[in-house]
Structure 1
Amino acid sequence: MKKEGASKVLIVDDEQDMLTGLERLLGYELPQVIVETASRPQQAVAMVERNAYDVVLLDIRMPDIGSMELLKILRQKDPWLTVVMMTAYGSIETAVEAIKRGAYDFVTKPFDKNVLLQTLNKAIERNSLIRENLDLRRRAQGEPPLDQFIGQSEAMRRLCEQIRTVARTDYAVLIQGESGTGKELVARAIHSLSPRRDQALIAVNCPAIPEHLLESELFGHKKGAFTGADRDHRGIFEEAHQGTLFLDEIGDIPVGVQTKLLRALQEGEIKPLGDVKAKKVDVRILSSTNQDLKEKIRQRTFREDLFYRLNVVTLRTPSLRERREDIPLLAAHFARIACRELDVPVKRFSQTALEALMECDWPGNVRQLQNVVRQAVIFSPEDVIRWEDLMRIEMSLGSVGTVEHRCTMGSSKPLTPYKDAKEKVLQDFTFRYIKDLLERTGGNVSRAAEYSGLTRAALQKIMRRYGIHSQEFRSET
């Protein structure tokens, strides 16, 4: 039976034992993921034509159709498909070539379970972001890229104005911000508004490429430069010539590669591994990080001169905590998308549910909010998503803590039920009101009762309940 709202992964391998083992592993470790398998290339192509998959896990060696050709066909069927290659250690070079041709990442056999699960989770998140951006583009119908940014807060207006300004320049831009705040979306908006918009934008997830391959991927290599280099290989810098190169999570680049990256930025040229000649490249650099690069400089794990080359202009993506007033707009937007995906009538949030969402700290930021909204759409039985539905997500999924101890979406501050919250506000108001009343009347209970419209007995009862004593407010004669 289909799990409503679940992600879908297609595993393509000609070894049935491998398919069975992976299907069993993912079914146990990722219960919210639907796993389907294909043992033949033609079967995989037909399945991608019929279904929308979040990730395809594709073996590097397939019969009948080579893996590169199969990758090309699958991406022709779905240009935004996220493909992760499975490869033996001896075929890593082929997997890297597959990344150049559109694959997202690769994992090596025999699998390290944690690495495999982490890679798949990241691929699913990446696909979710891509599909969301595509939906925004379709809805925008050619409107400017900044219309993809949902929110009317001062922080978002300031960010959009900064994007417009820096897009007109050719300066290197460092985008700083927490995970899930849309740093890649900012980079794509800058490129789309820049004079280089008609050229390539190439995004590189720096932590995803093994250290021993990163230099070759960035700058390329000549045939024979190292064991396994059986042909010349164009680097990402060359691929991005006259366009834009986005280095995601730049703080994870090894120090040795940092030195060569600095030279490329300073000289405007690269030297592929094994080549004696340098090549001129014209590339605009955008980079992002969620780390404190100045602290990494103090720890000598990041070059200071490279930092200033990358940090000509700094943009900071605000966390969701800093723009809470945008949460109702974002929640409504994500709810519309989820309802359309699930083919159900549009649902809206009640006021108390919105207030609950706005109370949370959101450590996962916009991405986390979107996931919670999707769950709320699935589990709310009516057209209005209520506070109780958010609590039901708590108890049924266990993904965001418990009602009694944590904010529903990961805040350190507990969510208070509406009735209790209202009572607390009323108590605070009553306490402040009575104190102010007695201060103004110098502790005269009769006059205080007269001014407040209460009887003396009723006022004294309230004072006893809150531990307020009239003598504390009487002036000494």
Structure 2
Amino acid sequence: MKRQSPPRSKILLVDDEPDLLSGLKRSFAKRLPDMEVLTATGGREALDILVQQEVDLVLMDIMMGEMDGLEVLDHIHSNDPDQTVILMTGYGTIELAVDAIRRGAWDFVTKPLELDNLTRILHKGLERSKLLNENKKLRSRIYPDGILADFVGQGTLMQKLYKAIKTSANSEYTVLIRGASGTGKELCARAVHTLSRRSKGPFVMVNCPTIPGELLESELFGYRKGAFTGADRDHDGLFFKANGGTICLDEIGDIPVNVQTKLLRVLQEQEIKQLGADTSTKIDVRIIASTNADLESKISEGAFREDLFYRLEVLTLRMPSLHEIPEDIPLLADHFLKKVQIELGINEKRFSGSALKKLCDHHWPGNIRELQNVIRRAALFFPGPVINGDHLMIDSPITSPGSEINREPEMDIIPYKEAKETCIDSFTRQYVHTLLKKSNGNISEAARLSFLTRAALQKIMRRYAISAEKFRK
């Protein structure tokens, strides 16, 4: 029986310069013979291709006429946050690169393109996509209904949450997601949408506090041309964008009372009236709201409408804080460590027993987001295959949530600047010692591992009087 060859990886090239597209396609045919190369001459064409078929990597220009690359990137990641996207531009600035990475680009290259370097980046990007796809397939085999595709916890509280998400998704009722900051409320909202009959419709996430109060109404409900000074065109608003799908109003407890009044009408009548419009327009949108605020206290203070609260609280999902699910911390830590390895392209690492104990003992006021950041720092700053307890830059453990006694060792108070410099000195010495031990005193290898130049590393070693000789075997 003839063995089937594995499917070819697909790369999508997006640029509004046809000559560049054809040139890159010819180059990749020679340099990446096992890849299938697709092309698109604009953002909308690229989005159409991504709807029709799976692509392993997108290489896209930023400066395009119809839709720029950053706008296309936002559309791509609203549907698939894991899609590997590399942006290219002839206008390379630090600010543009930072904005591109912040918005989800995996990497950033400047024109004129250096093909050897670009080929290396593409290989790394394709390897990232391969690892992510393998992880998704594994998780889909373990959890065939897909509900846990992005969740990790398996404890009792999380199992109850999964059942509640499934039940909520089967209805059209409004959902209120409550929980502390960093517990995964957005992930929960996306799961409800994905499992609902609206899954093929848009999912619009609105971070309410980031939109100034005076602009929130017009952003949510839209406006007509001439409604106010500067309104030189019609603007649909976010509710119109979510029509046929779901809108999630994140941190709803922070929206102004006048916007709460209009939102109440949307919930009651399923219609909106845009600023400057004479009539209301019917919409078909499911509303999910989330908050870390004590809405009951806000109601008693007059900062939140009681009738809106009861309209929102038809179905309530509560996200547990991390200290409530300590049995899931090792699973979460391992999950985030694997993600960091993919993000950074580094060799496999694992936690020691002391590291896992320290993670489980910590109270985690920042919840899952804090845990993820701690693991990112440890994986980035400490080379080597094992992450130990002293590699985890977290405070001393608090033995019980809400404990009135913080059992930290007593210490003399010294000036802040002096204390900070002492911590930095201690961290730097430990880091360089670990680095040189790993590289057996080879300064060039140590510089490569730390992403420092050889000269910069030698300068640090001179400052702290650290010699590489004693680390050489």
- Structure 2 length-normalised TM: 0.58
Tell me, in whole angstroms, the C-alpha distance in 2 between the residues paired with 1:133 and 1:162.
31
Identify if the C-alpha distance between structure 1 residues 302 and 388 changes in structure 2 by more than 3 Å, giving closer, same or farther. same
For 2:332, the aligned partner's letter is: L
| 1:203 maps to 2:205 | yes
Per the TM alignment, residue 79 of structure 1 is displaced from its structure 2 partner at its CA by 5.0
For 1:341, the aligned partner's letter is: E
Per the TM alignment, residue 80 of structure 1 is displaced from its structure 2 partner at its CA by 5.1
Match of 1:369 in 2: 371
Where do residues 136-175 of structure 1 align in structure 2 (5 Å cutoff)? 139-141=135-137, 144-175=146-177
Identify if the C-alpha distance between structure 1 residues 254 and 140 changes in structure 2 by more than 3 Å, giving closer, same or farther. same
Per the TM alignment, residue 177 of structure 1 is displaced from its structure 2 partner at its CA by 0.4
Per the TM alignment, residue 381 of structure 1 is displaced from its structure 2 partner at its CA by 3.4
Tell me, in whole angstroms, the C-alpha distance in 2 between the residues paired with 1:167 and 1:249.
21
Q: Secondary structure at the match of 2:316?
A: strand
Tell me, in whole angstroms, the C-alpha distance in 2 between the residues paired with 1:325 and 1:133.
30
Tell me, in whole angstroms, the C-alpha distance in 2 between the residues paired with 1:163 and 1:180.
18
Tell me, in whole angstroms, the C-alpha distance in 2 between the residues paired with 1:134 and 1:312.
41
Match of 1:235 in 2: 237
Q: Secondary structure at the match of 1:146?
A: coil
For 1:300, the aligned partner's letter is: G
Identify if the C-alpha distance between structure 1 residues 80 and 133 changes in structure 2 by more than 3 Å, giving closer, same or farther. farther
Where do residues 440-459 of structure 1 align in structure 2 (5 Å cutoff)? none
Tell me, in whole angstroms, the C-alpha distance in 2 between the residues paired with 1:348 and 1:366.
19
| 1:294 maps to 2:296 | yes
- Checking the alignment, whether the CA contact within 8 Å between 2:361 and 2:398 is kept in structure 1 is no
Match of 2:305 in 1: 303
Which protein shows a greater Rg?
1
| 1:326 maps to 2:328 | yes
Q: Secondary structure at the match of 1:148?
A: coil
Q: 1:72 aligns with which of 68, 79, 95?
A: 68
What per-residue deviation string (whole Å, max 9, x for no partner) do you get for residues 300-333 of structure 1? 0000000011110100000100001111111111
Match of 1:360 in 2: 362
For 1:321, the aligned partner's letter is: H
Per the TM alignment, residue 232 of structure 1 is displaced from its structure 2 partner at its CA by 1.3
Match of 2:190 in 1: 188
For 1:342, the aligned partner's letter is: L
- Checking the alignment, whether the CA contact within 8 Å between 1:327 and 1:358 is kept in structure 2 is yes
Tell me, in whole angstroms, the C-alpha distance in 2 between the residues paired with 1:318 and 1:290.
12
Q: 1:218 aligns with which of 217, 220, 244?
A: 220
What per-residue deviation string (whole Å, max 9, x for no partner) do you get for residues 183-238 of structure 1? 00000000000011111111111111111111111111111111111111112111
Match of 2:340 in 1: 338
Identify if the C-alpha distance between structure 1 residues 277 and 195 changes in structure 2 by more than 3 Å, giving closer, same or farther. same
What per-residue deviation string (whole Å, max 9, x for no partner) do you get for residues 96-142 of structure 1? xxxxxxxxxxxxxxxxxxxx9xxx99x95x859xx999986773246
Identify if the C-alpha distance between structure 1 residues 134 and 245 changes in structure 2 by more than 3 Å, giving closer, same or farther. farther
Per the TM alignment, residue 343 of structure 1 is displaced from its structure 2 partner at its CA by 2.4
Match of 1:461 in 2: none
Q: CA RMSD in A?
A: 3.6
For 1:369, the aligned partner's letter is: L
For 2:243, the aligned partner's letter is: H
Per the TM alignment, residue 334 of structure 1 is displaced from its structure 2 partner at its CA by 1.1
Match of 2:13 in 1: none
For 2:387, the aligned partner's letter is: I
For 1:231, the aligned partner's letter is: R
Tell me, in whole angstroms, the C-alpha distance in 1 between the residues paired with 2:380 and 2:307.
50
Tell me, in whole angstroms, the C-alpha distance in 2 between the residues paired with 1:300 and 1:220.
27
For 2:339, the aligned partner's letter is: I
Match of 1:267 in 2: 269
- Checking the alignment, whether the CA contact within 8 Å between 1:270 and 1:281 is kept in structure 2 is yes
Tell me, in whole angstroms, the C-alpha distance in 2 between the residues paired with 1:368 and 1:133.
26
Per the TM alignment, residue 78 of structure 1 is displaced from its structure 2 partner at its CA by 7.4
What per-residue deviation string (whole Å, max 9, x for no partner) do you get for residues 396-455 of structure 1? xxxx45x6x989xx9985589xxxxxxxxxxxxxxxxxxxxxxxxxxxxxxxxxxxxxxx
Tell me, in whole angstroms, the C-alpha distance in 2 between the residues paired with 1:65 and 1:162.
44
For 1:244, the aligned partner's letter is: T
For 2:261, the aligned partner's letter is: T
Per the TM alignment, residue 75 of structure 1 is displaced from its structure 2 partner at its CA by 3.9
Tell me, in whole angstroms, the C-alpha distance in 2 between the residues paired with 1:190 and 1:177.
16
- Structure 1 length-normalised TM: 0.57
295-304 or 204-213: bigger deviation: 204-213
For 1:168, the aligned partner's letter is: N
Per the TM alignment, residue 284 of structure 1 is displaced from its structure 2 partner at its CA by 0.5
For 1:344, the aligned partner's letter is: I
What per-residue deviation string (whole Å, max 9, x for no partner) do you get for residues 9-65 of structure 1? xxxxxxxxxxxxxxxxxxxxxxxxxxxxxxxxxxxxxxxxxx99xxxxx9xxxxx97
For 2:301, the aligned partner's letter is: Q
Tell me, in whole angstroms, the C-alpha distance in 2 between the residues paired with 1:219 and 1:328.
44
Identify if the C-alpha distance between structure 1 residues 215 and 79 changes in structure 2 by more than 3 Å, giving closer, same or farther. closer
Identify if the C-alpha distance between structure 1 residues 196 and 388 changes in structure 2 by more than 3 Å, giving closer, same or farther. same
For 1:312, the aligned partner's letter is: V
Q: Secondary structure at the match of 1:147?
A: coil
Gaps of 5+ in 2: 1-56, 79-94, 106-124, 410-473
Q: Secondary structure at the match of 2:325?
A: helix
- Checking the alignment, whether the CA contact within 8 Å between 1:171 and 1:312 is kept in structure 2 is yes
- Checking the alignment, whether the CA contact within 8 Å between 1:177 and 1:183 is kept in structure 2 is yes
Per the TM alignment, residue 155 of structure 1 is displaced from its structure 2 partner at its CA by 1.1
Gaps of 5+ in 1: 1-50, 53-57, 59-63, 83-115, 394-399, 417-477
Tell me, in whole angstroms, the C-alpha distance in 1 between the residues paired with 2:132 and 2:319.
19
Identify if the C-alpha distance between structure 1 residues 172 and 337 changes in structure 2 by more than 3 Å, giving closer, same or farther. same
Tell me, in whole angstroms, the C-alpha distance in 1 between the residues paired with 2:193 and 2:262.
24
Identify if the C-alpha distance between structure 1 residues 281 and 136 changes in structure 2 by more than 3 Å, giving closer, same or farther. farther
- Checking the alignment, whether the CA contact within 8 Å between 1:137 and 1:148 is kept in structure 2 is no
For 1:360, the aligned partner's letter is: H
